[in-house]
Chains A and B, each alone.
Chain A
């Protein structure tokens, strides 16, 4: 799983039937220092996350579609949690 920030959303009228009724969020994966980690991705929303929030991103199919509750559907990314805090223990890295 990855840490990311929701930076936007996508509107798509014509899409896979299993995506209907779920928000498509634009999520920018982040490094621990908060800097961008690669390019932004699209993820279905499983937790009602909003723009600007720091979230937990499932970046693999089975976990993503299970979280969204749509098995056997074409979903490879999902937002599965809204992060309250991340604690990095000094000296443990």
Chain B
């Protein structure tokens, strides 16, 4: 899984039937210090995440498992809302959500 921050959402009226009712969110991947890392992507939401929140998200086929038994076509899904990232040894490495 990787850290990210929700920076927006996507609305799509015409979409695969299995995606109906799912929220499409824009996720900016971030590093351990909360800095942007890499490019924004679209991910499904399985935990009720909202804009500005720090989250962690899952890649690959596993990303569709929160929605079982429904088979949802996604390769990135938010699976947790981060309260605190605790990195004791690194300087300036504590990120609060």
Using a CB–CB cutoff of 8 Å, the interface residues on chain A facing chain B are: 7-16, 19, 24, 26, 39-43, 51-52, 60-61, 64-65, 72-77
Contact = CB atoms under 8 A, between A and B. Distances in A.
A28 to B, nearest CB: 8
Interface stretch (B9-17, B19-27, B81-89): B81-89
17 contacts: A7-B89, A8-B86, A8-B87, A8-B88, A8-B89, A12-B83, A14-B81, A16-B66, A16-B80, A19-B79, A24-B80, A39-B37, A51-B88, A51-B89, A76-B59, A76-B62, A76-B63
A1 to B, nearest CB: 16
Nearest to A73: B65
B79 A74 contact: yes
B60 A77 contact: no
Q: In the complex, which of the residues B1, B3, B82 has the most CB atoms of chain A within 10 Å of its own CB atom?
A: B1
B51 interface: no
B58 interface: yes
B58 A76 contact: yes
